[in-house]
């Protein structure tokens, strides 16, 4: 194998594919590698940890066909560090050489035969508007759990909803729901559970394209974005009954300017240390944000607001509260509450396609 390619093109391809390379010490060594396969001027770079597979196709100046497996992190670091310009990669008796200008690296390779071949999902392909999906993922993916001991909660549920597609994620402390009306990839009552890690990776690519193509199989899903193909194993199991978590009625409604509230929250949360919550004290025309950390200090800020309901003090995890407001669309946001212990709901005043439910924190 021998080819040359612009450093920036190769750097981007190695970085994208490398997100799927295994990093855990218990994994097979070859799963920590990048599989390179060259046919004429077409280079395909693949990485997989068996659950997630990313394949990137790049046009290069091909000289000799062939394939190899390079250590993903080290190869990526080398490409990133090389000077701008053409990079030449070639196989030698001792491994693979990466050269640019006066820089020259030789890497030992891993067995091509040991590298697994993951086939893409075999379902029908459906093309969606990339911008809508990108926004939906920005709003929902952060609400999924990062705790692998509860794998169901590490996924984002995609469900058919009326005439569109619904994205749902929860980590049991918060819940995010986003609808994409008029977007249909599932049959009636069908749901699939996609790992949030996969969708986080996908979301980083969607700003570069107008269209996203999805193929759903029985156990896998494949996403196609420009020259990138992402295949993931779907999560099996029963997603929580999230509808039962959303209260039917909220007697207390606070409406605030999104930018003003976020600025105040970012300042006050500086004193919300050591898992300290931020309290919201809501009265007729104002809301006061308060953070008190023992032996450190306290902070408070009052902002104008519209409030209907009983005077109420409710406390939240400041990071979860901040993220909920950040991803809610529009300039004005509504916070709906029942009391200091029951779930609160964050919505846009002008857009009903997104909902963010947040559990309060009990404080003395």
CB environment 277-289: b (16+ within 10 A), e (fewer): bbbbbbbeeebbb
Please state the φ and ψ torsions of residue 256, each to the nearest 5 degrees. Answer: -135, 160
Model confidence at 275, in pLDDT bands (50, 70, 90)? confident
What is the pLDDT averaged over residues 219-237? 97
| CA 279 centroid distance within chain | 28
**CA-to-CA distance for 60 and 112, rounded, in angstroms?**
21
**CA-to-CA distance for 88 and 101, rounded, in angstroms?**
10
Q: Tell me if 204 sits within 8 A of 230, measured CB to CB.
A: no
CB environment 297-330: b (16+ within 10 A), e (fewer): eebbbeeebebebeebebbbbbebbbbbbebbbe
Q: Give me the CATH code for the 246-358 domain, please.
A: 3.10.150.10
**CA-to-CA distance for 83 and 138, rounded, in angstroms?**
34
What is the sign of the dihedral through the CA atoms of 356, 360, 361 and 363? positive
137-168 per-position pLDDT tens digit: 999 999 999 998 999 999 999 998 888 899 99
Model confidence at 274, in pLDDT bands (50, 70, 90)? confident
Above 80 in pLDDT, residue 15? yes
pTM of the model: 0.93
Of 325, 165, 149, nearest to 157 by C-alpha is 165
62-97 per-position pLDDT tens digit: 999 999 999 999 999 999 999 999 999 999 888 999
Above 80 in pLDDT, residue 193? yes
* Predicted pLDDT of residue 118: 93
Fold of 125-244: DNA Polymerase III; Chain A, domain 2 (3.10.150)
Q: Do domains 2-107 and 125-244 have the same CATH topology?
A: yes
**CA-to-CA distance for 10 and 5, rounded, in angstroms?**
7
* Predicted pLDDT of residue 162: 81
What is the pLDDT averaged over residues 24-35? 88
CB environment 85-107: b (16+ within 10 A), e (fewer): eebebbbeeeebebbbeeeebeb
Domain boundaries, the chain: 2-107, 125-244, 246-358
Q: Which residue matches tokens 């194998």?
A: 1
What is the pLDDT averaged over residues 14-18? 97
Q: Which residue matches tokens 């981007």?
A: 12
Above 90 in pLDDT, residue 186? no
> Percentage of the chain with pLDDT > 90?
90
Above 80 in pLDDT, residue 245? yes
* Predicted pLDDT of residue 269: 96
Structure tokens that stand for 129 in this block: 């508007």
CATH number 3.10.150.10 is the correct assignment for the domain at 2-107: yes
Of 4, 332, 313, 317, nearest to 171 by C-alpha is 317
| Mean pLDDT over the full length of the chain | 95
What is the pLDDT averaged over residues 296-301? 96
């Amino acid at each position: 194998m021998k080819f040359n390619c612009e450093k920036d093109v190769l750097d981007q391809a190695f970085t994208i594919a490398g997100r799927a390379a295994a990093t855990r010490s218990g994994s097979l060594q070859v799963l920590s590698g990048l599989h390179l396969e060259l046919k004429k001027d077409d280079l395909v770079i693949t990485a997989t940890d068996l659950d997630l597979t990313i394949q990137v196709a790049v046009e290069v100046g091909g000289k000799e066909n062939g394939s190899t497996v390079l250590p993903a992190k080290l190869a990526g670091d080398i490409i990133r560090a090389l000077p701008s310009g053409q990079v030449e990669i070639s196989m030698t008796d001792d491994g693979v050489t990466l050269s640019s200008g006066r820089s020259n690296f030789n890497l030992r390779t891993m067995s091509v035969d040991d590298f697994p071949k993951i086939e893409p999902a075999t379902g029908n392909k459906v093309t969606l508007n990339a911008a809508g999906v990108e926004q939906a993922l920005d709003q929902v993916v952060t609400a999924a759990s990062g705790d692998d001991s509860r794998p169901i909660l590490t996924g984002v549920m995609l469900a058919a909803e009326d005439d569109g597609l619904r994205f749902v994620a929860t980590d049991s402390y918060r819940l995010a729901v986003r609808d994409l009306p008029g977007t249909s990839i599932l049959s009636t009552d069908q749901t699939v559970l996609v790992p949030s890690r996969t969708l986080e990776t996908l979301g980083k690519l969607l700003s570069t394209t107008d269209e996203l193509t999805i193929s759903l199989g029985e156990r896998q899903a494949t996403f196609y974005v420009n020259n990138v193909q992402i295949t993931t194993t779907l999560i099996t199991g029963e997603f929580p009954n999230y509808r039962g978590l959303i209260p039917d009625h909220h007697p207390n409604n606070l409406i605030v300017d999104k930018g003003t509230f976020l600025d105040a929250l970012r300042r006050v949360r500086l004193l919300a240390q050591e898992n300290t919550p931020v309290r919201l004290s809501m009265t007729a025309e104002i809301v006061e944000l308060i953070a008190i950390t023992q032996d450190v200090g306290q902070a408070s800020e009052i902002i104008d607001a519209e409030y209907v309901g009983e005077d109420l003090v409710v406390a939240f995890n400041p990071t979860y509260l901040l993220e909920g407001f950040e991803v809610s669309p529009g300039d004005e946001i509504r916070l709906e509450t029942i009391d200091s212990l029951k779930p609160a709901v964050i919505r846009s005043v002008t857009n009903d396609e997104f909902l963010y439910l947040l559990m309060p924190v009990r404080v003395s």
